[in-house]
A and B are shown apart, each in its own frame.
Chain A
Amino acid sequence: MDKKIQSVRLTEIFLTFAKIGLTGFGGGMAIVALVERICVKEKRWITSEEFLHGLAFGQILGPFSLNVCTFTGHHLRGIRGGITAAVGFILPSFLLVSLLSWIYFTYNELPQLQAALKGTNPVIIGLILVVAMDMGRKQIKGAGSVLMALAAFAATVFLQLNAAWVLLAAALWSLCESIFRRRLS
């Protein structure tokens, strides 16, 4: 880890991920897109490749929105950085959900927030699309990788396969390819 990265303060990590947690509407990939935009593009805390590796691990290990935050925080400041990022990310949602749960169980009413989501959801789709295009331009080169991206897309959208299995299959394919290429050379 180089010195520039070491100098990111824990408070800055905490505040950044708390802001992400506070605006992370729309679930898993919406949050990942936000983290990519802020940590890769704006702050240059982690390279695009490293971030995507973290995302791959994170998807295999369950709740990937939290996992990419932990991974990025760890990349910056080790174990303490990872824990700081995870806590910072979860804390705003935790406080909000606790408050709303209290209101719900006391008054038996849900807040009428659906209208707000009608505005945020389309914008989040726009954000995910832009992030996917940015990632694609960097990572998808050559026919083989176009095919792999399309296959992963189709497997999730049309066959409704679990992302973790799609990634494990891609990893296996990629491993075979690496071994094969090594044999040739």
Chain B
Amino acid sequence: MTSLLTLAWIYFRIGLIFVGGGYVLIPLLNHIMVDQYHWLTLREFLDGLALSQLTPGPLAMLATFTGFRAGGFPGALIATVFIFLPCVTLMLVVGRNYDRLKNIDIISSTLDGLLPAVVGLVAAAAWNLGASSLSGTKEFIVLLIGFAIFKWTSVSPMVVIIGAGLVGLLIN
């Protein structure tokens, strides 16, 4: 079994690269876990990827799965803590300086000016998710019902999502 210290160091480094952009995570983990350390077969890796997509939470929970394979439950814990350590630390640093930065005129107007782009990115995410998961009339009906509930009522989104999961199990 790989020592937990080695695991911590490996996932910490992945976490640092992760900060540069989340999209490199999957090929990177694949390279390290499958080709370099042979902790998982490619098939196990792909199953793990599917599992992280099925469960709630970020896709990076793949770290938990691979860490579990490499070192059992302690391995999963170490992998999860260390892959997220760099980004949590950085966000805390950003948070600490945010209030000060916001009071500098040029920075606050720059930040406000880029907000439409953030909104565009949110809309793009809806589009991309739709392109990959809307396949039939049933899904469109569920989408419309969900949209109406969120738009015109204040029902808790958790209730709606859990209800929709149950509906999905029933109608499929």
User: Which residues of A approach B to under 8 Å, CB–CB?
Assistant: 1, 19-34, 37-38, 42, 49-50, 52-59, 61-67, 70-71, 74-75, 78-79, 82-83, 86, 89-90, 92-94, 96-98, 100-102, 104-105, 110-111, 113-133, 135-136, 139-140, 145-146, 148-153, 156-157, 162-164, 166-167, 170-171, 173-175, 177-179, 181-182
Contacts and interface: CB of A to CB of B under 8 A. Distances in A.
B26 interface: no
Contacts of A21: 56-57
Nearest to B53: A27
B58 A31 contact: yes
B120 A153 contact: yes
Contacts of A104: 47-48, 51, 65
Interface in B81-104: 84, 87-88, 90-92, 94-96, 98-99, 102
A82 B92 contact: yes
B37 interface: no
A149 B88 contact: no
B52 A56 contact: no
A59 B121 contact: yes
A127 B113 contact: no
A53 B95 CA distance: 10
Contact of A65 (B58, B73, B122, B166): B58
A166 B120 CA distance: 10
A113 B145 CA distance: 22
B117 A55 contact: no
Interface of B: 18-23, 47-48, 50-61, 64-65, 68-69, 73, 76-77, 80, 84, 87-88, 90-92, 94-96, 98-99, 102, 106, 109-130, 133-134, 138-140, 142-151, 154, 156-158, 160-162, 164-169, 171-172
A162 B20 CA distance: 11
A101 to B, nearest CB: 4
Contact of A75 (B19, B95, B123, B142): B95
Contact of A22 (B54, B56, B147): B56
Given A29-B125, A167-B121, A119 B52 contact: no
Contacts of B122: 29, 32-33, 128, 131-132, 135
A126 B163 CA distance: 14
B64 A152 contact: no
Contacts of A78: 96
B18 A63 contact: yes
Given A104-B51, A115-B168, A156-B120, A63 B128 contact: no
A28 B167 CA distance: 23
A82 B78 CA distance: 20
Contact of B91 (A19, A74, A136): A74
